[in-house]
Structure 1
Amino acid sequence: MLKIGTHLSVAKGYERMGKDALLIGANTLQFFARNPRGAKAKVPDYIDMSKFKELMEKNNFTTIMAHAPYTLNACSSNSHLRELSARMFAEDLERMEYFPGSFYNFHPGSRLGQEEEEAIKQIADMLNQVMSKDMHTTVLLETMAGKGSEMGRRFEEIQEVLKRVRLQDKVGVCMDACHMWNAGYDVAEELDKVVEEFDRVIGIQKLKAFHLNDSMDGRGDHKDRHARIGMGSMGAEATKGIINHPKLKDLVFILETPTDLPGHREEIDFLKSAYQW
C-alpha cells in the first residue's frame, strides 16, 4: 500500500483537515502544529481532535506528520530565539502526544555566522532538552537545500546531530526531493547512489518519511523552490523512481507541491497508478 498524503491546513479544524485528506484520496497527511511563520499555537480543541482520531481510525490512515514552524531555529546565534525554539518544540511534542505514534518534522536551522560544530551541538542539545523517554512521537530532521547558512544540506551534518541525541529510538530523518536536488544529490538519475550514501552515512533504518515535490531550479542551486510533480527540473520519472525504490517504497510520502486540493488529487491519483508494489 502506498502511504501517500499532502500538506493540509488545520485552520478550519482537525476533522475538516481529515475530511480534506479523504477527498483527495490520501491515507496520511502533514500539518503545521502552529502558525508556520510565528510562534503562537491555537488552544487545543480536544473534541475536534477526538473526531479527527476517530476519522483516521475508521479510514485506516497510516502515520501522520506535524511540521514545526519555519521560525523555529535550534542553532540561531541569538540565544533568545534558541530558547523560544526549544519552548515551541516542547509544546508541540506535548500536543502530539494526543496522536501517539506520529512524526514531528523540523528544519535543523541556520547557524547565522556560527561555526558548523557549534550549530550541530546546539541542535542536539535542544533535542536532548525537549525529548523524553516517555513520549510517543518520532522527531524527524529534514534534509535541506543549503541556502545561506542553512544546516542539513549534507547527510554528514544530519548524522553529526543524530549521533549526539540520547534517545536514539525516537529520532529519524525526513528526506525532501527538492531540497536534496538543490543540495546537489542526484535523486533523478542516481537515486541508488543517493540511497546507498544515506545508508552508509546515517543508516537506512533512520529514514522514516519523504517529501515529494519537483524543483523550479537546477541540481546544486541551493534555492529551495518547489514545483508540482513533473513540472520542474527533476521530472515525473524521478518521483516514480522514489516511490518504487525497494528501500523507500514503505515510507510515509507527503506531497509538498504548490497546488490546490484538486491538484493534489491529480498528483495522488498519478502516484497511485505509478506505484508498482
Structure 2
Amino acid sequence: MVKIGSHVSFSDKGLRGAAKEAASYGSGTFMIYTGAPQNTRRKPIEDQYIEEGKALMEEHGIGEIIVHAPYIINLGSYKEDTFELAVRFLQEEIRRTDYLGVKQIVLHPGAYTDKDAEYGIARIAEGLNEVLAGIKDTGVNIALETMAGKGTEIGRSFEELAAIMEKVERNDRLTVCLDTCHVNDAGYDIVSDLDGVLEEFDRVVGLDKLAVIHLNDSKNPRGAGKDRHAPVGAGWIGFKAMYNIVHHEKLNHLPFILETPWIGKEDSSQRPMYEAEIALLSGTVQQRFGDGFLSDVEKLDHFFKKQDLDSRQFVLQTWELLKTDAKAKKADGREPMERLYDLIAADNLFPDLSEEQVNHRLTAWFAGEHLLASV
C-alpha cells in the first residue's frame, strides 16, 4: 500500500502530538520541522516526547517519516555570516533528525541573491561539504528539493541538482525530494508526460537518488515559476495526474507528503483537506468515510451537472480568469473551491454539514471517475 501523509505540527507536544495529528488524517507517513521553520529557536530534542510519539506511530502503522530543514537556511548566500549560520544550523538539524531515527532531511538548496546560478551551485556544494565534514556519519541523508524557479533559487532544473551533487565529496549522503507543484511550475510536464519526466530525471540525476515526494497541486500553469500550492484536484495539475504519480511503479514505494493549503472562510475554521486527500489518493474513501459520504458526492455531482459544471473545466477556467483578468481578480479573487463552496451554501445543499465536511466532498468531486473506480 502506498504511504501518503502530510506536514504536521511539531510544537509543545513534540513527536507525540505530531503522530497523533498524522493518525487523525489516516496517514501512512508524515513530515515535521523540529522547530519553527522561520527561526533558530529550538527546544532540546530529548524533551520532545519521542518515545511516546514512536509508540503512537507503531500503534497506527506509521513507519518512515521525514524532517524538513528550516527555510532560513541558505547555503547559496555570499554573505559569510548567513552562510556560516546555514552550515552550523543544518548540522544541528541533522543531529536532531538522527536522534529521532529519521533518515531523510529535506532541504531547499539555497538562493544566490546578488550573484549568479554558477556561483550559487558552487556555494551550495561548498556548504554541503562543510556540513557533511563536520558531523559524524549519522546515516541521515540530505534530500535536495526540486524548486519552482522563483527569484534566484537553485534547484529549478534536474541539471542544477546534479551539478551540486557532482561537487559534493560525500554525495552518497545526498538524495532528492521531488515536489510536484515545483516541477510543474519549473516547466516539467508531469500531467501528460510523467514517464518522460521520470526518464529525464533518471538520466540527469538517477531515480535511485529519489527519496521523497512532496505531493501538491499548483495554482499556476506549467512553467510559471511561482510556487503556489493548491489542494489536490483544485489546481493545474489535477487529481488524475497526482493519482498517477502516487501509483506509478517507479514511485509508489516512496513516502508521499502533502503540503496543500488549509481551506476555510475564516482563520478560525480553516482546516487542511489532508484526510480526504489521503483517502482519495490511496483508494480508501469508502473505508474512511462510509457509503453516506459517497452518496453525498453523487448528490454534489448531480447538483453541478444541473448547472452544466465540469470539475476540471471549472478549475482551469477559474485560474485562467484570475491569471489574465486583473479587474476580475480584484473584484472577486476567490479561488475555485471557494466559488464552488459558495454555490453549495447558497442552495443550502448540505445544511447539516460543517464547512470542512462540505469541502471534503468537494475534494472528492474533483476526483471524478477515479473516485468511483477506487470503491
TM-score band, normalised by shorter chain: over 0.9
Q: Quick check: 1:147 aligned with 2:144?
A: no
Measured in 1, the distance between the counterparts of 2:45 and 2:34 equals 11
Measured in 2, the distance between the counterparts of 1:183 and 1:54 equals 40
Shift of 1:60: 3.1
Cross-structure match for 2:171: 168
Given the alignment, which residue of 280, 291, 303 partners 1:270?
Answer: 280
Shift of 1:59: 3.3
Shift of 1:143: 0.1
Cross-structure match for 1:2: 2
Measured in 2, the distance between the counterparts of 1:106 and 1:263 equals 25
Shift of 1:168: 2.9
Cross-structure match for 1:244: 247
Cross-structure match for 2:159: 156
Q: What TM-score results when the alignment is normalised by the length of structure 1?
A: 0.94
* Runs of 5+ consecutive residues of structure 1 not aligned to the other structure: none
Shift of 1:127: 1.5
CA spacing shift, 1:58–1:119, aligned 2, 3 Å: same
Judge conservation of contact 1:214–1:228 (CA < 8 Å) in 2. yes
SS in 2 for 1:97: helix
Letter in 2 for 1:266: A
Shift of 1:47: 6.0
Cross-structure match for 1:201: 204
Measured in 2, the distance between the counterparts of 1:165 and 1:34 equals 27
Cross-structure match for 2:104: 103
SS in 2 for 1:210: strand
Shift of 1:262: 5.9
Cross-structure match for 1:75: 76
Judge conservation of contact 2:10–2:35 (CA < 8 Å) in 1. no
* Matching of residues 84-103 of structure 1 within 5 Å: 84-103=85-104
Q: Is the helix fraction higher in 1 or 2? A: 2
Judge conservation of contact 1:229–1:239 (CA < 8 Å) in 2. yes
Judge conservation of contact 1:214–1:232 (CA < 8 Å) in 2. yes
What is the percentage of aligned positions where both structures have the same residue?
39
Judge conservation of contact 2:11–2:35 (CA < 8 Å) in 1. no
**Offset from partner CA, 1:65-102 (integer Å, 9 cap, x none):** 11111111000121111111111101101111112242
Judge conservation of contact 1:3–1:253 (CA < 8 Å) in 2. yes
Cross-structure match for 2:119: 118
Measured in 1, the distance between the counterparts of 2:164 and 2:10 equals 30
Measured in 1, the distance between the counterparts of 2:168 and 2:56 equals 34
CA spacing shift, 1:129–1:217, aligned 2, 3 Å: same
**Offset from partner CA, 1:237-259 (integer Å, 9 cap, x none):** 11011011111111110001002
Measured in 2, the distance between the counterparts of 1:192 and 1:19 equals 36
Cross-structure match for 2:261: 258
SS in 2 for 1:83: helix
Cross-structure match for 1:49: 50
Letter in 1 for 2:5: G
Measured in 1, the distance between the counterparts of 2:242 and 2:17 equals 28
SS in 2 for 1:30: strand
Judge conservation of contact 1:101–1:138 (CA < 8 Å) in 2. no
Say how many residue pairs are matched.
276
Q: What TM-score results when the alignment is normalised by the length of structure 2?
A: 0.70
**Offset from partner CA, 1:172-204 (integer Å, 9 cap, x none):** 000000000000001111111100000000000
Letter in 2 for 1:137: V
Cross-structure match for 1:38: 39
Letter in 2 for 1:237: K
Measured in 2, the distance between the counterparts of 1:49 and 1:167 equals 29
CA spacing shift, 1:63–1:151, aligned 2, 3 Å: same
Judge conservation of contact 1:5–1:30 (CA < 8 Å) in 2. yes
Shift of 1:261: 5.6
Measured in 2, the distance between the counterparts of 1:54 and 1:166 equals 37
Measured in 1, the distance between the counterparts of 2:48 and 2:121 equals 39
Judge conservation of contact 1:27–1:60 (CA < 8 Å) in 2. yes
Cross-structure match for 1:191: 194
Cross-structure match for 2:290: none
Judge conservation of contact 1:37–1:69 (CA < 8 Å) in 2. yes
Letter in 2 for 1:243: V
Q: Greater shift after overlay, 49-58 or 247-256?
A: 49-58
Measured in 2, the distance between the counterparts of 1:100 and 1:43 equals 15
Cross-structure match for 2:230: 227
CA spacing shift, 1:183–1:135, aligned 2, 3 Å: same
SS in 2 for 1:234: coil
Aligned CA-pair RMSD: 1.7
SS in 2 for 1:4: strand
